[in-house]
Structure 1
Amino acid sequence: MSPGDEHQAAGGYGGTGQTRTRLPEGGGDVYGGARRGGRTSSSRSLVTVVGVVVLLIAAIAFANRGGDASPTATGTADKPETSATAPTGKRPVKAATGGIPTGFAHDRQGAESAAANYSVALGSADMFDKAKRDAILRAVIIPSRVPDVEATLDKAYTPQFNKNVGLNEDGSTPKGYTFVSRTTPVGTKVTEDSADSATVEVWCSGLLGLAGENSTAPVTSSWFTITMELQWSDDGWKIARHSQKAGPTPIPGDDRASGAEEMAKAVQEYGGFTYAR
């Protein structure tokens, strides 16, 4: 069967909404559980968190997936100029506040670099620890908005939410498992900028779940775009507001899903990066 025949038999890319994922060798399901059927498109979409000023990024969005996943056409037919996507050649910053890169340049490139690195911090496993979460917020949010954002996230990281992502109700990781929450920026785009403000979109992929035998919440991936409104405050770029939408999402390949031990080992051994536009 040719690739074209296969797509037609499956109803085309926009037909069933199911994807093909090769399970670990040996016939078992991901992480040793019972074999599951393909997920529908509705289970892969992201639910908008209604009524909050700041939308939670990667982790919150993954845990509350559901609803309509019908793609919405966006963008224009015009191709971006080469300079819009080419690396600037700037070196990553060396300074850090609480482990989060800081000291980005007071210009367009600095705003993009800040947004990319802040996406990583806000989508990390540290967001599930109250003390670490508050430290992250103080490092990336403009000071006047920190109390409101802290209160919003305290209400969002509930015992039920922790259970949804496979954690114990208190946010701790069950014994024998490895919790995974990572966000990886793929690219950035400035949509508005002035001397002391910039709106930056960050296209990201993310991982969330619990790696371990018989995990009820195995590690899954998703794609989303974060929009950050940044302001220059206290000699650095800070987030005034941010929101998130699903996609753009590529068509999944015919990849074999890794087993629990392989996934846990990868998370423990592979470190992250400091990003520079």
Structure 2
Amino acid sequence: MSNDDQYGGGAGHGEVGGTGQTRTRLPESPSDPYGSPRRTPRASRGLVTVVGVVVLLIAAIAFANQSSDTPTTPASNKPPATTPTSATGVPPVTDKSAGIPKGFARSEQGAQSAAANYSVALVSAEILKPQARRQIVRQVFVTDKVSELEARLDQAYGKAFLDQAGLDANGNAVRGLTYISRTVPVGTKTVNYSEATTTIEVWCTGVFGTAGIGSNNPVSNDWFTMILTLRWAENDWKVESFAQKDGPAPVNTDRLASTAEEISKAAAEFGGFTYAR
């Protein structure tokens, strides 16, 4: 595993590239319906502001996901087989582009590894930065979806959105604050598979928000599932569309939340991984 992947996260329900979406998430309540993240119990200061930003994020993503395409769900009369979440031990790739693994095997295992790594990148903090966003979209998506998706995300993550999220025009937090959006895939599941197209679900957890004194968007945790439709193109698995939904989420513990300084330090010091199935 390597230590230089991008990080991301989010949850919700919507579309990008035909049948998917991306957004970073903030917490509201510990229930399961869409739009309700989980977090460790902590003081209620700033709750109204947090809820307001969540509403803003949902609205921005809904705008970005407007499409004339009809969302499609791969039909299958056979329920997906249960598979263990433990890795096979086979290295997924040996190369990267824009910090994102590439060159996945044309196999079910390769598709699951691709979906796990793409989930990390697609909902990362980098997706809010215009230049990095272009690199991510062009590396991860099939060519015929790139222009359309770039235009939608540029509009969704425009100045108004960034101002409300406390970020500047380049997607960075103001001095003294650290914006964090990290996702960790917990497991993958194949919904259906062929050598041309496949749909993979990735169960994820992550941490999202802005760390620092005076932050109105405190870092919290979330659990969500990414659903990615992949197409074999350019000798690799590429994303054709993706969506997100909340959960499955475990019961929260009563662990005391760390300070903003501890969270910022951890985000800077702990690297990420290349994920293998």
TM-score normalised according to structure 1 size:
0.73
Please tell me whether the aligned partners of residues 182 and 208 of structure 1 are also in contact (alpha carbons under 8 angstroms): yes
- CA distance in 1 between counterparts of 2:276 and 2:118 reads 12
Q: Secondary structure at the match of 1:183?
A: strand
The number of equivalent residue pairs is 228
- CA distance in 1 between counterparts of 2:195 and 2:168 reads 45
RMSD (Å), alpha carbons: 3.0
2:118 aligned partner: 118
Please tell me whether the aligned partners of residues 182 and 206 of structure 2 are also in contact (alpha carbons under 8 angstroms): yes
Please tell me whether the aligned partners of residues 223 and 246 of structure 1 are also in contact (alpha carbons under 8 angstroms): yes
1:253 aligned partner: 253
Q: Is structure 2 residue 206 aligned with structure 1 residue 211? A: no
When residues 80 and 107 of structure 1 are mapped into structure 2, their CA distance, relative to the original with a 3 A threshold, is closer
1:35-74 → structure 2 map (5 Å cutoff): 47=58, 49=62, 51-53=65-67
1:258-273 → structure 2 map (5 Å cutoff): 258-273=258-273
Q: With CA pairs under 8 Å and 6+ residues apart, which has the higher RCO, 1 or 2?
A: 2
When residues 105 and 187 of structure 1 are mapped into structure 2, their CA distance, relative to the original with a 3 A threshold, is same
Please tell me whether the aligned partners of residues 180 and 209 of structure 2 are also in contact (alpha carbons under 8 angstroms): yes
Please tell me whether the aligned partners of residues 186 and 203 of structure 2 are also in contact (alpha carbons under 8 angstroms): yes
2:201 aligned partner: 201
Deviation digits for residues 78-128 of structure 1 (CA, Å, limit 9, x no counterpart): 9964x4434222123220011100111100000000000001111222111
- CA distance in 2 between counterparts of 1:176 and 1:237 reads 39
- CA distance in 1 between counterparts of 2:93 and 2:164 reads 36
Residue 207 of structure 1 and its aligned partner are, at CA, apart by: 1.8
Max radius of gyration: which structure? 1
1:234-249 → structure 2 map (5 Å cutoff): 234-249=234-249
Please tell me whether the aligned partners of residues 92 and 110 of structure 2 are also in contact (alpha carbons under 8 angstroms): no
- CA distance in 1 between counterparts of 2:37 and 2:151 reads 38
TM-score normalised according to structure 2 size:
0.73
The amino acid of 1:241's aligned partner reads S
Range with greater deviation from structure 2 (134-143 or 121-130): 121-130
Segments of 5+ residues of structure 2 without an aligned counterpart are 1-29, 69-78
- CA distance in 2 between counterparts of 1:107 and 1:205 reads 25
Q: Secondary structure at the match of 2:120?
A: helix
Segments of 5+ residues of structure 1 without an aligned counterpart are 1-12, 24-28, 55-77
When residues 183 and 20 of structure 1 are mapped into structure 2, their CA distance, relative to the original with a 3 A threshold, is closer
Please tell me whether the aligned partners of residues 165 and 209 of structure 1 are also in contact (alpha carbons under 8 angstroms): no
Please tell me whether the aligned partners of residues 228 and 239 of structure 1 are also in contact (alpha carbons under 8 angstroms): yes
Q: Secondary structure at the match of 1:243?
A: strand
Q: Secondary structure at the match of 1:85?
A: coil
When residues 88 and 170 of structure 1 are mapped into structure 2, their CA distance, relative to the original with a 3 A threshold, is closer
Deviation digits for residues 138-157 of structure 1 (CA, Å, limit 9, x no counterpart): 11100111001101111110
When residues 161 and 20 of structure 1 are mapped into structure 2, their CA distance, relative to the original with a 3 A threshold, is closer
Please tell me whether the aligned partners of residues 165 and 208 of structure 1 are also in contact (alpha carbons under 8 angstroms): no
Q: Is structure 2 residue 118 aligned with structure 1 residue 105? A: no
Deviation digits for residues 215-264 of structure 1 (CA, Å, limit 9, x no counterpart): 11111111111111100000000001111111111111101111111010
- CA distance in 2 between counterparts of 1:200 and 1:79 reads 11
